[in-house]
Structure formats: C-alpha cells, structure tokens
C-alpha cells in the first residue's frame, strides 16, 4: 500500500480554507480591504507551495542514511544518526526526519507477526498488538547530519520506517522527499544492580584445545584464579607485571567450569503491561548475572535453557549475541517438563530466573530439589508487607511509569493496561533473590 503524501498540514488546510472563504465573501461584498488581505494570503500560500514542491522534487534524489545505535537500551537516549543532508534548503523551509513504526514491549506478539509477513513493507501493514511510535527531528540549517533520540521505557522490539519531509517554518506545508527506510532493532532491558554472588559452578569436560609451541607464553601461563595451586605460581613473572601468573603444564588440560541456567519465560498468552514488566526485570537480572559471573572468572561456560531453546555461551562475543536475542524473548505457554530432561546435569548449583507469572515454577523446584538452587524471582511488591527470609537487592520496587510511553512518542493501547495475572504462590529455593516490579501511571 503506497504511503500517502499530503501537501497541506492541518494548520495549512485550515488557513487556506479561511483565506478562500474570506476572499469569496469580500468579492461578493466588494470589500477592498478584505480582498487585498485574503488575496495576499492566497498568493503567499501559492508561492510557498510552488517553492516547496520544486525543491522536494530535487531532494527526492537525496541519499539519506539512517543508522540506529547498537546496542539499544531501554530508558536511554538512543541517538540514531541521520546523514546525507548536503542539499541546500530554501528560505523559510526546514528538513524534518520522521520515524513511524511499532514497538513490541518484551516483543509480545512480534514473532507471530514476522512469521506471517513476507517483507518489510508487509511487516509494517500487519500492525498486530504493538504500540504505535512516532518521532521526528528538525535538521538545523547548514547541517549535513542530525541526531534523532528514540527512548523506549522497557525491552522489546522496534520495527519502523524513517523518511525526510520538507516543511515550512509556518507549518502550512509538508512535502515528501526521499524513499522509506525500514529498520528493525531490539531494545535491551535497562540494567539492574545488586551485590556480588558466590558462584558455585560445576566441572565439565576437559578442554581439548591444542596448544602450539608458537603460543607457549599464551597457553602455558595465565592469570591466577581461585583454586589454583600456590606451587604453580610463577613468582618472577608475577613480580614483573605486578599480577599473579599461574604456570600450567602442557600435559594438564583444564576442566571447563559450567554454569547451568534456567530462564523460565512461561506466562500468559496475552500479557498485560505489568506482566511484561516482570519479564523485563527478569531479563535484566539474567544479564546482570552473566556479566557478574564473567567478571569473576572469564573461563565460565554458561548453559542456558529457555522455553523451547538452549544456548551454550563460551565467550564474551556469544554472551553479547545472547543478550541481543534475549531482548526479543516473550512469554511462552506453560508445558509439562521434567527437570532433568533425561540429561546428566551433574551436581553443580542451578540458577533459575523466573517471574510471578510462572505457574509451574513450584513444581519445577520440587523436581530439582536434589540440586543446590539459586532462584531469581520478579514479582509484584507485597501490599504493605516485608518478606522475611529472602535476600533482596533493594527495598524499592522497580517502577514502570506509563507516562514514559507518550513522552517517547509511544502510544500503548488500553488492552495493555486492563488485564493482570494474579501472583503465583510464594516459592522458596536454597537462595532466593527477589526483584519487585510494578507499573504506575
């Protein structure tokens, strides 16, 4: 479906109709003052329109670039760069870069839409359950580039189109200039913080990587890690670089330390904004956990399981790719599952991330009670109560303000605000970290 290209703005249309009515009435009444006034207004609109139309045709060949920042994070000024604006603009006119699209909080219903659509254009026509997004920025005269801030209150997926329009400073005309540019971006959760945790990882298979003599210094010496034998420390090298260095025999193959993580994104089929906010905070807690564990020991290998999918993260590059994919994960219907899934998981500690929408969490914890467990749970704050026996990172709940949506040019529908899932029964594990989250107007 082609995009409509209106010439008059609402203000311009109203001004034109008013001037035309006054001109016709003055001609009938033979009022010279009104004839001069109305005809001058119509002539001014005519000259302004001809100038804008002529220049917009020349600007249609302008190669505008629109680059979104990477990564994009919620509650941050994600400044997208608009470049290629070298053309001179007539007096009384300005270039505006406009962005329209839809934002899918925690990517609710986004996968369903993209599976049904076959192209970028059809994606934009299948609006689904996303929130409409509109943002624009005026390009200062003489500038060849501009920055457009895009602010999203929570994680999810943005799918939109950007284009330039030539507008006069009086607000009467708006002319289309260049072709549509389609973009899709994933918005990561705003970071959360907490005190450091003791990570109890399990030993995995031996590291079979071959070590060449050319890389002897790299592979036979490494930074000291807790658990290394003191007799293996190379004191001379450590003194030279002011850091403990461990000597590794070529015949010793280090065992991989694995961390088993369950990301339980089970929840309602049609979640409301409050439920999506709980999922967002769980994503943020998982991202914090991965970064904290990686800072503690960069040889950790993370085995992560979510609804219908698994990941094996061996290095920082794979962790970054997972965090980008995590931003677009939404709720999945609850399924009957076995904790061990017929797979040998060892005896290390399990780290479980879930929300109050997870109706099967209690049964899952019972099935895994033979293993040491750490549970990270996002739930609504208790009404005037303080929970005891739970380790908390802060006493305040993370608040999502609905006013932040229109402030960022996002319009959520009423359907996002009505429904609310009852919190799941209280659950406990060997170690429980609770993140409270709520939605406010």
User: How far apart, in Å, do the first and last CA atoms of the chain sit?
Assistant: 36
Predicted TM-score of the model (pTM)? 0.74
CA dihedral 7, 12, 18, 20 (to 10 degrees): -40
Q: Of the ranges 18-22, 70-74, 337-341, which one carries the lowest mean pLDDT score?
A: 337-341
The residue length of the chain stands at 441
Of residues 432, 412, 438, 428, the one with CA closest to residue 102: 412
Residue 251: what pLDDT?
46
What's the rounded Cα separation, in Å, for the pair 325 and 153? Answer: 18
What's the rounded Cα separation, in Å, for the pair 272 and 226? Answer: 45
Residue partners of 126: CB distance under 8 A and separation at least 6: 113, 116, 117
27-44 pLDDT, tens digit per residue, is 998 888 889 999 999 999
> What average pLDDT does range 370-392 have in this prediction?
69
Of residues 152, 158, 164, the one with CA closest to residue 123: 158
Residue 275: what pLDDT?
87
| E strand spans, 151-279 | 156-168, 174-176, 181-188, 202-206, 221-223, 245-247, 255-263
Residue 322: what pLDDT?
93
Contact status, residue 162 vs residue 181, Cβ threshold 8 Å: yes
Indicate if the pLDDT at residue 305 is higher than 80.
Answer: yes
Radius of gyration of the chain (CA): 29
Contact status, residue 79 vs residue 181, Cβ threshold 8 Å: no
| E strand spans, 307-430 | 309-313, 350-355, 373-379, 391-392, 398-401
What's the rounded Cα separation, in Å, for the pair 135 and 151? Answer: 10
248-267 pLDDT, tens digit per residue, is 655 444 555 788 999 998 88
Handedness of CA 283, 320, 209, 295 (dihedral sign): negative
184-205 pLDDT, tens digit per residue, is 999 999 888 877 777 766 654 4
Q: How many CB atoms lie within 10 A of CB 110?
A: 25
Q: Please work out, in degrees rounded to the nearest 5, the angle formed at the alpha carbon of residue 245 by the alpha carbons of 200 and 313.
A: 40
């Amino acid at each position: 479906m082609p995009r409509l290209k209106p010439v008059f703005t609402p203000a311009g249309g109203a001004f034109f109709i008013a001037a035309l009515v006054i001109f016709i009435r003055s001609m009938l009444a033979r009022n010279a003052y009104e004839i001069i006034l109305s005809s001058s207004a119509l002539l001014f609109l005519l000259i302004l329109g001809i100038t804008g139309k002529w220049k917009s045709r020349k600007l249609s060949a302008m190669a505008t670039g629109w680059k979104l920042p990477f990564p994009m994070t919620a509650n941050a000024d994600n400044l997208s760069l608009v470049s290629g604006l070298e053309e001179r603009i007539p007096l009384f006119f300005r270039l505006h870069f406009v962005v329209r699209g839809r934002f899918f909080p925690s990517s609710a219903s986004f996968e369903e839409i993209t599976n049904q659509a076959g192209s970028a254009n059809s994606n934009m026509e299948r609006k689904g359950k996303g929130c409409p997004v509109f943002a624009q920025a005026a390009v200062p005269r003489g500038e060849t580039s501009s920055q457009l801030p895009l602010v999203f209150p929570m994680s999810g997926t943005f799918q939109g189109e950007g284009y330039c329009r030539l507008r006069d400073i009086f607000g009467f005309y708006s002319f289309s200039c260049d072709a549509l540019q389609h973009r899709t971006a994933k918005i990561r959760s705003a970071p959360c913080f907490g005190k450091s945790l003791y990570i109890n990882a399990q030993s995995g298979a031996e590291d079979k990587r071959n070590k060449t003599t050319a890389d002897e210094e790299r592979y036979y010496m490494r930074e000291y890690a807790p658990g290394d034998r003191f007799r293996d420390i190379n004191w001379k090298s450590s003194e030279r670089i002011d850091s403990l260095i461990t000597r590794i025999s070529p015949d010793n193959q280090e065992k991989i330390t694995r961390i088993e993580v369950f990301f339980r994104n089970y929840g309602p089929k049609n979640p409301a904004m409050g439920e999506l906010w709980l999922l967002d905070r769980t994503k943020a807690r998982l991202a914090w956990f991965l970064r904290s564990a990686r800072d503690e020991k960069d040889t950790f290998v993370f085995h992560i399981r979510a609804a219908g999918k698994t990941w094996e993260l061996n290095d920082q590059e794979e962790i970054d790719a997972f965090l980008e994919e995590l931003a677009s994960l939404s709720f999945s219907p609850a399924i009957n599952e076995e904790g061990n899934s017929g797979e040998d998981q060892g005896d290390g500690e399990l780290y479980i991330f879930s929300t109050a929408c997870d109706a099967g969490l209690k049964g899952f914890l019972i099935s895994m009670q033979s293993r040491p467990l750490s549970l990270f749970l996002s739930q609504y704050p208790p009404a005037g109560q303080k929970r005891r026996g739970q380790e908390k990172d802060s006493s305040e709940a993370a608040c999502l303000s609905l006013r932040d949506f229109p402030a960022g040019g996002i319009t959520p529908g009423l359907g996002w605000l009505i429904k609310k899932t009852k919190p799941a029964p209280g659950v406990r594990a060997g170690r429980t970290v609770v993140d409270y989250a709520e939605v406010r107007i």
